[in-house]
Chain A
Amino acid sequence: MGNTSVKITKSDLNKVFIRNLFGLQLAWNYEKMQGLGYCYVILPVLKKLYGHDPEKMKRALKTHLGFFNTTPAMSHLIIGADIAIEEEIGIESEQVVTGIKTGLMGPFAGVGDTLFIAIYRAVVFSIAAYLALDGQAVGLLIPLLAVAAVIFIRYKFTHFGYNQGKKLATGFANRISLITEGASILGLAVVGGLIPSVIRYNLNLTFTFGEVSLSIQEMLNRIMPGMVPLSIVALSYWLLGKKKMNSTRLIMVLIGLGMVLGNLQTMVDWFVALFA
């Protein structure tokens, strides 16, 4: 039956939290991904609950070494809930625990990858890079400050997950979807603003007809500033929608495009000379 005599304390949870921050992905592998890491993270609790009973310990180790993979920041919630169940039910919770782990890791990764990776990077690291592009090293402080906030959230997640136990999945999912929507709006506004400011390519192309010279870039600016960067992004976006396209291939395409754009004036001059 349950381990009513053994209680998980705040300091146990904090031990798990620290291991979760630094140890979850140390042994990431293709077979069970964060499986070994997960076991490592929750081990302080397992030791406390089953340390006196080698047979139970073996079973617990096996359960927690199973396949696991989710956004590291979200894993705190799942591990917190796992601890609560483990404390409540004991070793007989094997199936519930495995169910919760596998059931939540997918949906949580969906939300977590958007929130903690895509949008986080779009906002935090793009602002830092934007400042660095102007030679301002102080921009590097922004990610360091932001990560302190993330670590705080992850700390809260461990305790929140533990407190919520099994209730976790439903209530939290509703609220986090609204947060994701808001964060998406912020991310999209920043991405839109980044395009004209960080793709610093100018079409250095001038047509000279006798006395008159015509700068293509100036002409384009009159139609809409930032048109060239926007077109290149639109092309990349469209290409990424193609089946066989991935980021590595897109890099090749863009390098090829750069080769053409960089030597455009030379090519045009050569072409004009051909007919002159």
Chain B
Amino acid sequence: MELSIITIVLLTLYVGIGVIDQISIQAGPYTPLFAAAVTGLLLNDLPTGLVIGATLQLMTLGVATYGGATVPDFLSGAIMGTAFAILSGNGAEYGIGLAVPIGLLLTQLDVLGRMTNTFFQHRADRFADQGNVRGVEISNVLGAIPWMLSRMIPVFVGLYYGDAVVQTINSVIPVWFMTGLRAAGSILPAMGMAILMRYLPLKKYYPYYIIGFVMMAYGSSIFSILSVALVGLALAVIHVNQKNQVQTDGLMMAHQDEEVEIDG
């Protein structure tokens, strides 16, 4: 199986839209989940795309660009990993194993894109000195170009020369390595969980974490993750209500105290 040039162009356009989604409303196309699913759809193998996307998504749940930090480009990685997995017929785990190093490798291009945009900032500063409003506006819009190119170029080049790369990989890589890669693919979501746990107040609210874990570890035949979310929501509302109550009670008591003093 080979990639048609139309598919390559479509995926290249997709990654361009994806990165704009990432820096604007974050609706979904920027995530590895959507990227892998769309790639799977275009290559007539949606199930493989979904599994690769879901696993990468869970792995990167906690990896977000807080404060503009650069993170591995798993958007582009997901597209290439999924395409190569389907082309070679090696299965989803292979795609995950491939997407991760590709994403890591492309980290540098994100840095390059953000550095290039400094040029537009300087340009806008100069336009501001001249009072050129239009110039400032255009400089900002042009900033989209480095973002898009830093994703579109590697995806296009990677997919274009992909066949040759995939064949080489298949003939060179030993079986134990592939087995290991599969196991790695299935445990990598642990990272996403761990980063989230670092970010959330685990030490303060760990009981809720235990509740979620027990529901799914012991009751996975009855419960789904949506039911855990609903129970979590219920507990959250109870917590907030109780805390609100305590605050209002506290205020009331303070108020009564005041009245007593006034009366006295």
How far apart are the CA atoms of A69 and B67 in the complex, in Å?
7
Distance in Å: Cβ of A130 to nearest Cβ of chain B: 5
Q: In this assembly, does A172 line the interface, its C-beta being within 8 Å of a C-beta of chain B?
A: no
Q: In this assembly, does A248 line the interface, its C-beta being within 8 Å of a C-beta of chain B?
A: yes
One of A7-15, A85-93, A109-117, A158-166 contacting the partner: A109-117
Residues of chain A within 8 A (CB-CB) of B66 are 109, 113, 117
Q: In this assembly, does B169 line the interface, its C-beta being within 8 Å of a C-beta of chain A?
A: no
Measured as residues with beta carbon below 8 angstroms from the partner, the interface class of chain B is 35 or more
Q: In this assembly, does A102 line the interface, its C-beta being within 8 Å of a C-beta of chain B?
A: no
**Interchain CB contact under 8 A, B143 and A113:** no
Interface residues of A in 66-122 (CB under 8 A from B): 69, 72, 109, 113-114, 117-119, 121-122
- In the complex formed, the residue of A with least CB distance to B186 is A201
Residues of chain A within 8 A (CB-CB) of B50 are 132-133, 135-137
- In the complex formed, the residue of B with least CB distance to A113 is B66
One of B81-89, B156-164, B172-180 contacting the partner: B172-180
How far apart are the CA atoms of A195 and B173 in the complex, in Å?
31
How far apart are the CA atoms of A265 and B239 in the complex, in Å?
47
Interface residues of B in 104-139 (CB under 8 A from A): 104, 107, 114-115, 117-118, 120-122, 124-125, 127-131, 133, 136-137, 139
**Interchain CB contact under 8 A, A190 and B117:** no
Interface residue count on the A side (C-beta < 8 Å):
107
How far apart are the CA atoms of A51 and B223 in the complex, in Å?
60
Residues of chain B within 8 A (CB-CB) of A181 are 201, 236, 239-240, 243
Interface residues of B in 201-216 (CB under 8 A from A): 201-202, 205-206, 208-216
Please list the residues of chain B having a beta carbon within 8 angstroms of any beta carbon in chain A. Answer: 20, 23-28, 31, 33-34, 37, 46-47, 50-51, 53-55, 57-58, 61-64, 66-68, 71-72, 100, 104, 107, 114-115, 117-118, 120-122, 124-125, 127-131, 133, 136-137, 139-144, 147, 176-177, 179-191, 193-202, 205-206, 208-218, 220, 223-226, 228-229, 231-233, 235-237, 239-240, 243-244
